Structure 1
């Protein structure tokens, strides 16, 4: 049986309200053909109208509403996910702040305790969960901790999101109960801050990316970010040795994520992050958009490094000899992009003509790039039909990776390519640089004026060593927001504050005992109004007590109450 969708993408139709009987067909053991077709067409029409909403006004999809319906199943759009409710709120917060050139700035949290304290800050409107923090502190199913190489089980971060999201809901329930009993709204805390989480590089191929996106949506993340690094070659963005994937590969990840959420009927946000600004390796040359940034050698008849390596390994050469040979090979074979190679081998006038032809072809083609074959053809046209020497295979690594010249140009090109498929764009940088951010923002907004940008206020930066005075440090976030960097985060703030405060306590406690604990913890909690001072109330003991009384219908309210004479927090 085949179905057709009567609604074309982008076509606005009259108002319709689908009856609940057509929202799913699970109640029919053996539905008639007409009932199935009516269900499919109604679902497709609903999706088409959904896509035309302001929420998706800047999103491109290379598939149709019918493609989504075919993969939804009989429940249709009846299933509602908490993360989608949070995502709608997140979208509105970002929209409003972006229009007013204000930041949505936050701190990375590593557990429900930090989340509950972050929630008490009215001007911090979202929470962030870092993959780095999960890798190094929040063990996954393997009980291993390690640096941020993205090599932990792919459900590690979603599980931590679930833990925090459930804690958010617990504190929210506790607070509603307290309000109904006291009618005091003065202390109301917004515990349900939308969670943005680190999805690394997607942890695999298309189906893995979709499973990961599904996990995040099921477990409570309103938004995630995906970076253009290679699965298996992943590094923290502030470590060396990162391998990026072709531009097209990362676009496929973004499309897969969006398709998964469309199938689920959720509005979660995806952030496209590029690590190409600092990258030196590319996994494949399959995408012509990457060609101008791949490096090669201009030495004739050069023996590839991989051939040297194979011979050394066959002779059982020690690692020291191999390392020295590798260093010598790259020293003797300087690396060039094709443009740099052309400049070295053409005359000044030939190179100038080559560049003019390059720019002319870019304007005519409107693609923003030329492939290596097109560049070689341009060289021949200005060089009497002769090629220049350029070998990008000889420098390839043992794993087959190409040498890549990272920088702002590829970062901008990639971000422009990702923009139609993402809700926000993240430029990963190696230092906090307002001028660099301004330059990036201008290039992006000249093409996509409504593109929302993301900035990592990383603890990996030595902020004191970059020439900021106190006034500049205090205004940096708001200065970035004026450039469209609406979402900003200190990814590992929770990790560092946890370590700093506990180290201060432990160092004193070893010799001063309870004096240290009282002065470093309890006095500070009292002075700062930290609600964890009364940790039993903070954890929801009174909420559970109320649940028990409902179940027992008031019976045993005196004997089983958690607030009886043994309740020690009355001391505070």
Structure 2
């Protein structure tokens, strides 16, 4: 068998041209904020030899322009999550974007539904994006055909919605190692997504009902995840956007101590000669106690705190702690080893602190979530992404302000997102009715330009379907005619099968007519 030999000179020229093309792409205004740890040469070497293009790139640029317009105006986009093409078709009348929540997909789009553990198949959300994007294309096509069968004067009074709303999708934690994350990013681009968000949670570590929060990964691992996505976007040459979502606000564990940037927030025991948490829990459960009680009893005895707090608590005087701070030991990125050395020098003794004792049964370390921790992590990864989302399921206004102002001090033009949880009681948690009503506009002034209720289609649709189901069972077709059919036919006619322009009837007939040689475009 002969070996096909390439023209090496032509190959080298094509490679150099590709490097130049990558560098030109990276110089575009909407990419100026991105800082990459790799070269254009490395990306060019991983591209295909034939040019490929993706609608995802067009949607990404469109979304960027929308977000920038909101940032400049101090306004915001308010959207919600759905997996349904029919819901999406109505959102086009009111929203600029569509959100696909992983939690929602895990309840409605998989063979084995479940709570939001991100344990559904890795391609679940990309498939939903693909479904919605194809539905958008169809609605765009049938509306375009319907409009263009009318004269210019007539079209001024016809519906004209932008069905090609940028789709934002939940990529969770990347679903595995870096190669899995790369493949996931590619699938999203191929599906037509405008932006994905990737968070810093540990895979398979979500718990909900035993008083333990989320578990985050080290900063270094999160940086690697985001870099993998950015690299794949660059390989594909797309302007698809990447949102960095930090879930550290309500997290109580971290998987590893490998990154010194996390050391200031890892909690340890300050009691000498106390048994490890896992041993105490094991003994307690053997004695008939439940897990939570055994755990909480140990935590009450362990004197849990961060190392910096332990230094402050064990210092003989405030001056000793001031010496510790003056040494630079509390600066961002100082390792526990450096902190211990500085503490011994300042206090004249070793500080009792052991973060190994407080490890969970899964091996994770206890974590102290603070606003400063989120700010530091968000700033670290900001150069890799286009937008930042600090997940705050129990929003505290002062924390919201502190976080966003903290990031904006370094990146004044940063774009932010915010997610509203479904059942959070704002009034019960100190918000006045006036504050709730102005919440979105107040956040928009902080640069929070994309605001989402992720899982409306659980509570919202369930409520609607429950009401209709009861009415249908009670009144049957008579009730349907009176409450649904009649109101939906009163102008403006509600979208449905009876509305030929919405159902695609004109487009379907145009297929037949065009094949037969008829012209179904504008009749002058």
The normalised TM-score by structure 1 is 0.84
Give the alignment of 1:433-472 within 5 angstroms. 433-468=396-431, 471-472=434-435
Say whether the 8 Å CA contact 1:282–1:403 is kept in structure 2. yes
The CA distance in 1 between the partners of 2:53 and 2:5, in whole Å, is 25
Between 1 and 2, higher relative CO (CA 8 Å, sep ≥ 6) is seen in 2
CA drift at 1:468: 4.6
| Per-residue deviation, residues 364-385 of structure 1 (Å, max 9, x unmatched) | xxxx33111111111011122x
Match of 1:135 among 92, 99, 106: 106
| Per-residue deviation, residues 284-322 of structure 1 (Å, max 9, x unmatched) | 111111101000001112222234556789xxx377465
Residue 8 (structure 2) aligns with: 33
The CA distance in 1 between the partners of 2:216 and 2:129, in whole Å, is 26
CA drift at 1:422: 1.0
| Per-residue deviation, residues 65-118 of structure 1 (Å, max 9, x unmatched) | 11111111322xx21101111111111111121122211221222200110000
Residue 323 (structure 2) aligns with: 353
Unaligned runs of 5+ in 1: 1-28, 363-367, 558-572
Match of 1:74 among 46, 49, 63: 49
Match of 2:238 among 233, 247, 266: 266
CA drift at 1:64: 0.5
The CA distance in 1 between the partners of 2:217 and 2:104, in whole Å, is 24
Give the alignment of 1:267-282 within 5 angstroms. 267-282=239-254
Say whether the 8 Å CA contact 2:321–2:347 is kept in structure 1. no
The CA distance in 2 between the partners of 1:308 and 1:477, in whole Å, is 46
Q: 1:388 to 1:196 in 2, by over 3 A?
A: same
Residue 50 (structure 1) aligns with: 25
SS of residue in 1 equivalent to 2:196: strand
Say whether the 8 Å CA contact 2:393–2:420 is kept in structure 1. no
Match of 1:510 among 468, 473, 494: 473
Residue 201 (structure 2) aligns with: 229
| Per-residue deviation, residues 413-446 of structure 1 (Å, max 9, x unmatched) | 1111111111000011132443322211111111
Residue 303 (structure 2) aligns with: 334
- Farther off after superposition, 474-483 or 543-552: 543-552
Q: 1:311 to 1:462 in 2, by over 3 A?
A: closer
The CA distance in 2 between the partners of 1:189 and 1:237, in whole Å, is 43
Residue 341 (structure 2) aligns with: 377
- Asked if residue 153 in structure 1 is aligned to residue 121 in structure 2, the reply is yes
Residue 117 (structure 1) aligns with: 90
The CA distance in 2 between the partners of 1:465 and 1:518, in whole Å, is 42
Say whether the 8 Å CA contact 2:142–2:501 is kept in structure 1. no
Residue 242 (structure 1) aligns with: 214
Q: 1:460 to 1:235 in 2, by over 3 A?
A: farther
SS of residue in 2 equivalent to 1:62: coil
The CA distance in 2 between the partners of 1:379 and 1:155, in whole Å, is 49
SS of residue in 2 equivalent to 1:429: coil
Residue 126 (structure 1) aligns with: 97
The CA distance in 2 between the partners of 1:33 and 1:415, in whole Å, is 45
Unaligned runs of 5+ in 2: none
Say whether the 8 Å CA contact 1:303–1:394 is kept in structure 2. yes
Residue 568 (structure 1) aligns with: none
Say whether the 8 Å CA contact 1:293–1:405 is kept in structure 2. yes
CA drift at 1:523: 4.5
The normalised TM-score by structure 2 is 0.92
CA drift at 1:407: 2.1
SS of residue in 2 equivalent to 1:197: strand
Match of 2:58 among 81, 85, 104: 85
The CA distance in 1 between the partners of 2:209 and 2:173, in whole Å, is 11
The CA distance in 2 between the partners of 1:318 and 1:425, in whole Å, is 47
SS of residue in 1 equivalent to 2:273: coil
CA drift at 1:241: 3.0
The CA distance in 1 between the partners of 2:33 and 2:366, in whole Å, is 34
The CA distance in 1 between the partners of 2:233 and 2:341, in whole Å, is 43
The CA distance in 1 between the partners of 2:462 and 2:516, in whole Å, is 44
CA drift at 1:393: 0.2
Say whether the 8 Å CA contact 1:132–1:236 is kept in structure 2. no
Say whether the 8 Å CA contact 1:341–1:390 is kept in structure 2. yes
* Corresponding pairs, count: 512
CA drift at 1:456: 0.7
Q: 1:407 to 1:266 in 2, by over 3 A?
A: same
| Per-residue deviation, residues 354-412 of structure 1 (Å, max 9, x unmatched) | 223337x73xxxxx33111111111011122x211100001101110000011212111
Q: 1:196 to 1:208 in 2, by over 3 A?
A: same
The CA distance in 2 between the partners of 1:62 and 1:178, in whole Å, is 49
Q: 1:129 to 1:403 in 2, by over 3 A?
A: same
CA drift at 1:221: 0.7
SS of residue in 2 equivalent to 1:465: coil
SS of residue in 2 equivalent to 1:204: coil
Say whether the 8 Å CA contact 1:237–1:428 is kept in structure 2. no
The CA distance in 1 between the partners of 2:486 and 2:461, in whole Å, is 18
The CA distance in 2 between the partners of 1:54 and 1:413, in whole Å, is 26
CA drift at 1:326: 3.0
The CA distance in 2 between the partners of 1:217 and 1:235, in whole Å, is 31
Give the alignment of 1:102-113 within 5 angstroms. 102-113=75-86
The CA distance in 2 between the partners of 1:153 and 1:63, in whole Å, is 30
Q: 1:319 to 1:311 in 2, by over 3 A?
A: closer
Q: 1:236 to 1:39 in 2, by over 3 A?
A: farther
SS of residue in 2 equivalent to 1:157: helix
The CA distance in 2 between the partners of 1:454 and 1:171, in whole Å, is 28
- Asked if residue 99 in structure 1 is aligned to residue 99 in structure 2, the reply is no
What root-mean-square deviation, in Å, do the aligned CA atoms of Structure 1 and Structure 2 show? 2.5
Residue 177 (structure 2) aligns with: 205
The CA distance in 1 between the partners of 2:236 and 2:209, in whole Å, is 31
| Per-residue deviation, residues 190-214 of structure 1 (Å, max 9, x unmatched) | 0001000111111111011111100
Residue 368 (structure 2) aligns with: 405
